Structure 1
């Protein structure tokens, strides 16, 4: 039986390679049909803001990778409610259908997975 894995993405899409690496791991796991989830936490919630113009910062746009998650069977997507609120994104439209979780929900989520990788 495949071991489940939760990837926690904590970096903004423009702060370095962490957000892209997290997506690469999730897409690779999805291609092999591993049971996995993706949690956007801290500045990682900025990846969910629609209409980003990464080219202005001379960065690659992560939007296509994010939209490909469902094509790879990755549907367990979560976001920390506190992170959204702290960054003024609470109630804003997001680019993916994510399940918002409070602190208790985050603890339960992390405990549900066999392996947790934070980037």
Structure 2
């Protein structure tokens, strides 16, 4: 039976690889036919920025995998409106299709999920 699962990340893209762990978690759930969504909050929205080059920091470029989420049926990617504003990220700077949510919309989203995983 399919479950609605929301993965939430609020860590900086290069903070102990927590976004990488969130990505792996989303892909694992999607691989077992769950309805997976992902919410980026706080500094994690920086992972959505186009043209990053983590290899220059000596880190494997896992961010390019964000563009493949749709292939794995992780179709709904959300970002916190205030976090995008805080980090001055405009829609044209985002590398993938996202839905922007304010705080009340985020709460409503969380309330509709059967499981919420926060890394």
| Bin of the TM-score, shorter chain as denominator length | over 0.9
Alpha-carbon distance, 1:32 to partner: 1.6
1:9-54 C-alpha deviation (Å, 9 max, x unpaired): 1112211121000000111111222011000110110110011110
Paired residue total: 119
* TM-score between the two structures when normalised by the length of structure 2: 0.93
Contact 2:36/2:73, CA 8 A, preserved across alignment? no
Alpha-carbon distance, 1:107 to partner: 0.6
Alpha-carbon distance, 1:91 to partner: 4.1
Q: Counterparts of 2:20 and 2:73 in 1: how far apart (Å)? A: 18
**Can you give the 5+ residue segments of structure 1 that lack an aligned partner in the other structure?**
none
Alpha-carbon distance, 1:92 to partner: 4.3
**Can you give the 5+ residue segments of structure 2 that lack an aligned partner in the other structure?**
none
Asked if 1:112 corresponds to 2:102, the answer is: no
Matched with 2:97 is 97
Give the root-mean-square deviation of aligned CA atoms. 1.2
